[in-house]
Structure 1
Amino acid sequence: MISLKSLFIAVLLLSCTHLVNAQEYWQGQYNSKRLLLSKTVNTTMQDSLHLSSPENMYDSMPLAQDIVGDSLVLTNETFGKILKLNELYGDSIRVRFTDYGNTYNIKFRRVTGLQPLMFPQHPKGDLPYSIKEIEFKGEKTKLTYGGTLVIPKETKNYPLAFLLNGTGQQDRNYTYSGHQFFTVLADALARSGIASFRMDDRGIGGTTGDFQQATIEDFVMDLEDAKTHLKDQKYIDAEYMGIIGHSEGGVVASIASAKDKDLKFMVSLSGVGVNGLKILDLQNTAILKAYQIPDTTVVHQMDLFNNLFKTVYTNQNPDSLEAELNTTVKTWMHGKNQELLKAVQLADGRDQNLVYRFYSNAKSDAYQYMLHYEPQDFLPDIKIPVLAINGGSDILVPAEENLAGFKKYLTNSSDFSFKIYPGLNHMYQHCTTCTSEEIKTLDEVFAPEVLNDISKWIINNYNNHKE
């Protein structure tokens, strides 16, 4: 460790100070947000420093420089940013970053430019498996697909797991708040001797098509095209291919496994085991309670929401849906006192905002399909081994009720196992509040015990299949 005075010299006075506009970059990370400290070396004036953060949506924010005691302090008073540089270790700097009163201890590393978010579980260095980027054209959909195939070692054939992501347009790595959910899952599978394939959703990355117009049935066809292409790949055991589906991907897995006799196993991560109306009720109730909204308010809020869900469910004419939703809200509001309307965010004309937001989602084919989903239409037809798991603190797909649905309807599976993991959220991270907002503050990408259990279950079933 060098002195703070030397730190000041090392950071602000490059060895190339005779060059005009030479650049140096240091990057740090907190709460899934990147900070890029850049320095432009000048010969006629003091070197200029700027702070950028893509996730916070500011770029090249100027920083004033000062020495306070033995520390170098960089500030932008207008936006409440303070960086106190404390210690320099080789190519990294310890920084106390204050953002409008909130302080974070962050390690900045020297970089050549802005780098992707990185978490401890993201694989790096020399990996004991091969990674192949694949592009192919679907036989059924005629779309072009881009994906990543991971092979444990190029020495023999391996069981193959197709990784299916949850709701929303996702890239192949299933990236949320910088966490690469499927990259970490594929790494764990490969280390256990399981190949995997993950691909971009329609309209993103290497995959063509219109995601906004796609339904779950379309995603099933995407999977079928991927299976057709991958079964002839070298080092793949085409006799043992299966699915690992998360959340909505678990629904796709259930439908595909009920129809496709070539699939040999299914892992449901927070899959839906109740019908569409019920999951919306469970989900929204759990979310409201997670934000510590009073129980009496939750009861009223859910009464309103369930009336809206039923309006969408029974609607026969899409052109009249918005008007029907407006009538439902007006009818529910009738006779309610102002205090209650404020509590459920309907006072002062906010009812129109609710109708607009609700209609914007409800009119889509994907929403309509999920709303009318009935697990008993598919789960009884699944005959292959199934592992259904949930996080015990999942507020998007509550564990007890959804696993109960699997137990009720998955009557013909040759080997059905289930498990609830206490303290894990919807994305299988150890959590405290377990809200969606907390996800970005967590360094963990995927709980190791879940990764281990999934891998062991697949390998055990594969070995039984080979016997």
Structure 2
Amino acid sequence: MKSTRLLFVMLWAWLALSVQAQEGAWKGELDFQGTKLPLVFHFADNGCTMDSPSQGAKGIPAQREILADGTVRVTIAAIGATFEGKNDGNAIRGTFTQMGMEFPLILMPGTLQVNRPQTPVPPFPYREETVSFANDGFTFEGTLVLPVHCDRNTPVVVMVTGSGLQNRDEEMFGHKPFAVIADALARQGIASYRYDDRGYGLEGYQMDAYTTGDFASDAQVALRLMRKRFGKVGVLGHSEGGTIALMMAEQGMPDFIVTLAAMAASGKETLMRQNRASMASLGLSQGILDTCCAVVQQAFEVLAEGKKVEQLSFEGVPAELKLVLESSVKQCDTPYLRYLLNVDVSKSLDKVKCPVLALNGTKDTQVDCASNIQVLESGLINSRHEIKKFEGLNHLFQHCTTGSVLEYQQIEETIAPEVLQAIIGWLKTL
């Protein structure tokens, strides 16, 4: 009896030591069809969370168990995934499973360290001012960058971020592209104003309750604010911000615009291309891919009409993908997405009269380069414009391998130098 009791005491002591040895941060990489997807697990005595830096996801709730044989089992219910592995003293080696697919995963102690060499570091050879404005019940904080010898004749660009809740630097995955652009412009005598998105930093803010039209309204107020101090005011927008720049140009508001990977094709077409590219990256057969895309297309048609998606046919869709599609459709039923599906600046590009510089990357998997350039070239018939495509650059204008969103965080470069040179060179011709 005593020996059995002693065995249990020793077992629980061993399990306790095993748990303590695994507390803290553990990092590893999944190899998904040649693309590296880093993961970080945070083990603590009061719980467990997981980060997926390449997807911008932090603090995903998880549950950890230590089995009798020492196996570490982590369940991430929110994404339908599990990890099981054993600690060999230096690493936790095991398997990550999601949607019926298994991937080997080795976790090592520590967190991911990122290097962002282009991020501007003071002291700066220019001046910065904090400038705020109000619109639609929100207060917007922003940074006005003033180059040396700045006066009313200095050109200024209002910078408009892409989709998602972002700060004035358009910060994502540790990158600060708008800070990099503003720094490059100021060093060449061009002023800029960038501001935090509406609701940034507010608790309980629901961004999906607002639309591209609302964000365009914010940009219009920012532009009018700059007109009080500068004689030549333009808009530089990335992604959705580029679409907003085109919307404002169609209304004759800015003196010039620069678009970076702007959605010039319709929202419905753009989102369908995004979804097809995303699902194709899973290695689905052509038949299953077409079936899944048909479901998404049907959902988009209904949502664009302002109706509820009540019944969709999932015939031919694998069970594990059906759950993903059902969840995705539910998440799409928001004012933001309904509005975006109906955005189509291509119909009014002939109204743009101001100079336009439009830049796109050939490896952009979010806003297709070829189709959007074609729309711009055929639509901008009444404006002086320059349209350029950059070989091998992704949606963020980084040199990349595949163009996948999963690469953004892993690339040290924030924005290709040739893109900065193209923007500056064109602005100096105005």
TM over 0.5: yes
Corresponding residue for residue 270 of structure 2: 279
The residue number in structure 2 matching 1:124 is 121
State yes or no: 1:425 paired with 2:390.
Answer: no
Q: Secondary structure at the match of 1:189?
A: helix
Partner of 1:148: 143
1:125 is displaced (CA, Å) by 3.3
Assess, with a 3 A threshold, how the Cα gap between structure 1 residues 118 and 206 changes in structure 2: closer, same or farther: farther
The residue correspondences of 1:257-272 to structure 2 (distance < 5 A) are 257-261=249-253, 263-272=254-263
Please give the root-mean-square deviation of Cα atoms over the aligned residues, in Å. Answer: 3.5
- Measured after TM superposition, the shift of residue 313 of structure 1 is 2.6
Q: Is the 8 A contact 2:263 2:367 kept in 1?
A: yes
Deviations 1:79-120 (A, max 9, x none): 9766xxxxxxxxxxxxxxxx9647899999xxxxxxxx6510
| Shift in CA distance, 313/228, structure 1 to aligned 2, threshold 3 Å | closer
Q: What is the Cα deviation at residue 267 of structure 1?
A: 1.0
For residue 243 of structure 1, give the secondary structure of its aligned residue in structure 2.
strand
**Equivalences, count:** 348
Q: Does 1:351 align with 2:348?
A: no
Relative to 1, partners in 2 of residues 1:100 and 1:445: Cα closer, same or farther, differing over 3 Å?
same
Match of 2:96 in 1: none
Secondary structure, in 3 states, of the residue corresponding to 1:198? strand
- CA drift at 1:54: 11
DSSP-derived class of the 2:411 partner? coil
1:367-406, aligned counterparts within 5 Å? 367-406=337-376
1:360 counterpart residue number: 331
- Counterpart AA for 1:216: T
| Partner residue of 1:322 out of 306, 309, 317 | 309
The answer to whether the 8 A contact 1:32-1:178 is kept is no
Unpaired segments of 5 or more residues in structure 1? Answer: 1-29, 36-51, 59-76, 83-98, 109-116, 462-467
Q: For residues 354 and 262 of structure 2, what CA distance do their matches in structure 1 show?
A: 16
- Aligned twin of 2:239: 247
* Percent of aligned pairs with the same amino acid: 28
Give TM-score, length-normalised by structure 2.
0.72
**Inter-CA distance 32–144: structure 2 relative to 1 (3 Å threshold):** farther
Q: In structure 2, do the counterparts of structure 1 residues 322 and 310 end up closer, same or farther at CA, with 3 Å as the change threshold? A: closer
Query: Could you say if the C-alpha distance between residues 132 and 278 of structure 1 is closer, same or farther in structure 2, counting changes exceeding 3 Å?
Result: same
3-state SS in 1 of match to 2:290: helix
Q: Does 1:159 align with 2:155?
A: yes
Match of 2:227 in 1: 231
Aligned equivalents of 2:204 and 2:133: distance in 1?
Answer: 11
Aligned residue number for residue 298 of structure 1? 289
1:57-96 equivalences under 5 Å are none
Equivalent residue letter for 1:152:
P
1:133 aligned to 2:104?
Answer: no
**Which stretches in structure 2 are left out of the alignment for 5+ residues?**
1-28, 30-35, 41-49, 61-85, 92-103
- Give the secondary-structure state (helix, strand or coil) at the position aligned to 2:231: strand
- Secondary structure of the corresponding residue to residue 329 of structure 1: coil
Q: Deviations over 1:181-205 (max 9, x none)?
A: 1111111111121111111111114
